[in-house]
Structure 1
Amino acid sequence: MPNASIRIAIADNHPVVLVGLAQELRALQDVEVAVMAQSSDELIRQLNERPCTVVLTDDTLPDPQAKCGGGLLALLRASYAAATVVVLTMADHPEVIHALREQGVAHIVSKSDATVHIARAVEAARTGRPYLSPKITKIIDESGRAAA
């Protein structure tokens, strides 16, 4: 799909998750899965060759080579500012979710939520709106801190 309006990079160190995400996203209209990476190094290498408008990444992706303080998310923000980051997470601790938000992540999807929320987060990224999946919203609400 060379004329896709959204070029997506997917990064997750679990091959089954990576393939499942790609399958889910390829079913969407106007979406091209341009990059699939199992490590942060592979993600960065491929983003240099194939720029993307959205980077969908696991929040615990091992990041041994990031040269920027704050790990992969900071590196993505500094070097690929044109790409919107959507974070997938298994985290259910409010501190982790709030830390992601404090790092400027506006699109967070729990891996425990239905896959439809991946598409909703990507659409929100396309239109510049923030998106928090239902489990993430519940975690924030129960923590007593505003989602901002």
Structure 2
Amino acid sequence: MSEVAIKVSVTDDHPLVISGLQTMLARHAHIQLVGAYGNGVELLRGLETEVPDVLLLDIQMPDKTGDSLAPLLRKKYPDLKIIVLTNFDSTLYANNMMKLGVHGYVLKSAAEQVIIDAIEVVYNGGTFVEDLMKRKMDLLQDKVSKAVFAKVSLTPREKDILEHIANGDTNQEIADRLFLSVRTVENYRLNIQLKLGAKNTAILIKIALQMGFLDK
């Protein structure tokens, strides 16, 4: 039984890039190129006739940008898998495109096998970001998280109550030890959870440890 071919279309405003992709994809029998478009308008027109499994999408075209096309394509063709193929190595832009629902982000400088791997991974339901971009995006996320953590502060009373929560004390026990009403303790507890973005006690303690509000 023959292997089902992955139908792929490409969109790029540089003819040499499209030609190179056509030559590359032709070397892989399990991939079938079903469309090649020079701009966003051509792409939208072409998709009305042939919707591929995977779309390789340039994001810096003169008529329509990737961040304007991606939401439109995701809404109109929910089964279409989109891989951004670009020279634009901005982690902020890559992160934004992934949030818009694309399934992969690959630089045009990537090796042929990386592009083929990306096509196969997203076709099978996964997401793909090549290693260099993935490392840069992880570093960016780490910086953002630390910046958010740095803005969060707890009052001395909130820190006291947090320590009692971490020790497993009930609201009544905390109230008795700190000479507060149970309702006041409940309010403090809710406010601490809101500040730290925690849905329950287990997550609260985990986040508090990460942010340095509790000793490990």
Q: Tell me the residue number matched to 1:95.
A: 92
> Where do 1:39-78 residues align within 5 Å?
39-64=39-64, 71-78=68-75
Greater fraction helix: 2
Q: Tell me the residue number matched to 2:11.
A: 11
Q: Tell me the residue number matched to 1:124.
A: 121
Shift of 1:75: 1.4
- The alignment of Structure 1 onto Structure 2 pairs a total of residues equal to 141
Greater fraction strand: 1
* Structure 1 pair 85–145 and aligned structure 2 pair: CA distance change class (3 A): farther
Query: Which aligned runs of 4 or more in structure 1 are off by greater than 6 angstroms?
Result: none
User: Per-residue displacement from partner, 1:111-140 (whole Å, max 9, x unpaired)?
Assistant: 222122110110002211111112211321
Aligned-partner SS, 1:22: helix
Q: Tell me the residue number matched to 1:21.
A: 21
Shift of 1:105: 1.7
Q: Tell me the residue number matched to 1:34.
A: 34
User: Per-residue displacement from partner, 1:6-28 (whole Å, max 9, x unpaired)?
Assistant: 11110000000011111111211
Shift of 1:87: 0.7
Q: What is the root-mean-square deviation of aligned Cα atoms in Å?
A: 2.2
Moved more, 88-97 or 9-18: 88-97
Moved more, 10-19 or 51-60: 51-60
Q: In the alignment, does 2:81 pair up with 1:84?
A: yes
Scaled by the length of structure 2, the TM-score of the pair is: 0.60
Task: State which structure, 1 or 2, has the greater radius of gyration over its C-alpha atoms.
Answer: 2
Aligned-partner SS, 2:48: helix
Aligned-partner SS, 1:105: coil
User: C-alpha separation between the residues in 2 aligned to 1:58 and 1:117?
Assistant: 16
Identity %: 26
Shift of 1:142: 3.1
User: C-alpha separation between the residues in 2 aligned to 1:117 and 1:140?
Assistant: 18
User: C-alpha separation between the residues in 1 aligned to 2:10 and 2:64?
Assistant: 18
Identify the structure with bigger relative contact order (alpha carbons < 8 Å, sequence gap 6+).
Answer: 1
Q: In the alignment, does 2:131 pair up with 1:134?
A: yes
Aligned-partner SS, 1:36: strand
| Runs (5+) with no aligned partner, structure 2 | 144-216
* Structure 1 pair 82–132 and aligned structure 2 pair: CA distance change class (3 A): same
| Aligned partner letter, 1:142 | L
User: Per-residue displacement from partner, 1:84-131 (whole Å, max 9, x unpaired)?
Assistant: 001112122221111111111221111222122110110002211111
| Aligned partner letter, 1:27 | R
Shift of 1:64: 4.5
